[in-house]
Amino acid sequence: MRFIDTEWLVSLAATSVPIAALAWAMMADDARPNSLVTTAPQSISAELVDRLNRDILWAPATASSDIVTRMGDEARAVFGPIPDVDCGDDAARTIPLEIDGNIVDLKPNPAKTGHPLEFEHRDTSGAVVKWTTEIAACDKPSLAGNVTYCGMNSRISRKLRGSVEWIALCRKSRDNLEIDPEAYWQKSDPTFARLGIIGFNRLTGEIVFFDGTKVRQAFDWRKPFVPPGGRSYADEVGRAVASALYDPGFEIQCSACHDNKSPYVISPHIAQARIGYREGARGAAAEAFSLGDYLPRTPHAEDLPFRVIGSVYTAIYGNDLARAQTVRDPSGTCTECHTLTTGMTGQRLAADAAGRDPFVAKPDWTELVRIRAEQIKLGQIAGHRTRWASRAGAGGIHPWMVPKEGGRISGAPPQISESDWQALSNCLWQAGGDECGYRPLYTPCPPPADPLGDSAQPLGLKATIGPRPSGLAGADRLLSIAWSYLNDYGDVPERDDVRFNLVVRSMPAPEPGNPPAPADYPVATQARDDGFVPVSREVGASGDAILIRDISYAGHRRFTDPIPSTTPRPYRIDLPVQCNRRYLARLLPKRSCFDQTGTRYADKAIPIYADITCN
């Protein structure tokens, strides 16, 4: 059975042009073997097709070969405009430092001659408790492991635009990972050592990571930073600045820690109200010291989509991304509420949260080495934690996650049992079996027109025949194929990661009224890029047909950013054609995934045909 676009046929009733269009066809796409002919049919000139459509034939994020600029373009094509990175504005927040249940800052000590810089300790009422000249430990040391454990006055910025949020961390740190009473650590000092940016779409689970260059020793948040890739394709100055600002080698594997289907990893160090306060989110300490709900609670369910964007990043860390898995706690203790993985949220955060050592039941030599390295790192973190913060100390806030109650630690419920922890840790280190419920952490890139993912479909495919434009030698008529489409995956009005391929072949026109046979059409595989032989830029041969690649919407000129839209955009491709021939085509949507999977094609290529008569 085939479905005819009857509305379009009615619209053609007033003409004498014998032309018909087919919508999604039930015929098999591979009904005819693909020809091995590698030159396009002479009835269509690739050069003329290129000349007629050149401005709209271009693949997204291909304007630059510079790694940073291209990655920025890829991020913009998926997430829409990227805001400037501004850790110095009023909306950004300072990450506090807490010691023995008090908040600590570096200030001139007014009680001493010369007012030397010292560490001021204040309680929840704001009263000064004491001054100290050094800091050896804090209540909530960083779990990152490669930054200053008890750093202070780093800044975090969160910007929300529809379903997309951008998190920037301007982190103060020192190479020796310790803190001293020097001006650098003051809140008023705008310099910092580490710049990190995360973009995340909460509907699609797409996430992207950028880090500041490792060549620079310091950054300054008094002036906003241009986003990766600049603010647009046309932002030549911004693109040049961004190329020097961000790390092209992606030295920091951000996905190793940010692997919990969320743009941020919540730990006591970030001072969220719901984590690491004995009296809970409404207690005096949380009210006085924490970031509150600045980074809100987000769902982390294991069945949510989650995919890293960035062709270079995913090429570097592709093996790790492929091996990463979510884990079910065999005892049911921890994963009822949390997503734990075989990455750092499992192997480091879970161990620290539970106050337990990593464990593998029957480790091989490689596992022994990795576990020992992690034990050393966790030991260094523990060595920078105050006695006050330990469960045996006055504060009793560590471990900071307890069975069934999560971060609600005021009642001092028991820790996870050793047997339950060993079963869970064995799973987290990928040494378990079916009891671990392993599932791939990262989900596939969805092809266009996929009912289970991106369900947007091309609409209203139709063909019209017009006179030959003046100056178009070598053609008798102009065949225009048009449709409409809205790339609304993730509710990003500027999303620009979908293009269309159109594969066309021709044959002598049959007797009027004779419909084409399935074997007359190009096969669906000819509409893919695999067998493309270029003739004129994005127009070339695919077997015995001509292939036109990377069709964008009408007016979307090469290397320009899309105009926001929440309604279907018009698409049109013009073909110079000859009299007394039948033209058969298939239209195939495709997504540039900007990850290790490359390009994903729709499952169906839509067929359409037109007979050109010149009576």
pLDDT tens figures, 76-131: 999 999 999 999 999 999 999 999 999 999 999 999 999 999 999 999 999 999 99
Give yes or no for a contact between 561 and 413, defined as CB atoms under 8 angstroms apart: no
Query: Rounded to whole angstroms, what are the CA distances from 282 to 273, 372, 564?
Result: 8, 39, 41
Structure confidence at residue 512 as a pLDDT band (50, 70, 90)? confident
pLDDT tens figures, 204-262: 999 999 999 999 989 999 999 999 999 999 999 999 999 999 999 999 999 999 998 98
Is residue 391 pLDDT above 60, yes or no?
yes
Please name the amino acid found at residue 124. Answer: T
Give the model's pLDDT for residue 1.
Answer: 29
Give the model's pLDDT for residue 27.
Answer: 35
Structure confidence at residue 288 as a pLDDT band (50, 70, 90)? very high
Q: Which two tokens stand for residue 269?
A: 């160090």
Average pLDDT over residues 297-305: 81
Is residue 265 pLDDT above 50, yes or no?
yes
Query: Rounded to whole angstroms, what are the CA distances from 161 to 203, 261, 317?
Result: 12, 19, 28
* 3-class SS of residue 576: strand
Task: For residues 356 and 372, give the distance between their C-alpha atoms in angstroms, rounded to a whole number.
Answer: 14
Give the model's pLDDT for residue 564.
Answer: 97
Give the model's pLDDT for residue 353.
Answer: 92
pLDDT tens figures, 17-28: 333 333 333 333
Give the model's pLDDT for residue 290.
Answer: 94
Task: For residues 462 and 607, give the distance between their C-alpha atoms in angstroms, rounded to a whole number.
Answer: 10
Is residue 559 pLDDT above 90, yes or no?
yes
Average pLDDT over residues 271-289: 90
Average pLDDT over residues 430-443: 95
Is residue 34 pLDDT above 60, yes or no?
no
Is residue 5 pLDDT above 70, yes or no?
no
Give the model's pLDDT for residue 590.
Answer: 98
Structure confidence at residue 496 as a pLDDT band (50, 70, 90)? very high
Give the model's pLDDT for residue 254.
Answer: 94
Give the model's pLDDT for residue 25.
Answer: 34
Give the model's pLDDT for residue 349.
Answer: 93
Average pLDDT over residues 273-285: 89
pTM for the whole thing? Answer: 0.91
Give yes or no for a contact between 449 and 589, defined as CB atoms under 8 angstroms apart: yes
Structure confidence at residue 280 as a pLDDT band (50, 70, 90)? confident
Query: Rounded to whole angstroms, what are the CA distances from 474 to 125, 332, 466, 504, 554?
Result: 85, 72, 15, 17, 24
Ramachandran angles phi, psi of 69, nearest 5°: -60, -45
The H-or-E segment that residue 164 falls in is strand 164-171
Higher pLDDT, 15 or 43: 43
Give the model's pLDDT for residue 412.
Answer: 61
pLDDT tens figures, 54-78: 999 999 999 999 999 999 999 999 9
Structure confidence at residue 336 as a pLDDT band (50, 70, 90)? low
DSSP string, 244-311: HHB-TT--S-GGGTS-SSSSS---GGGT-TTSS-TT-TTSHHHHHHS-TTSS------TTS--EE--H
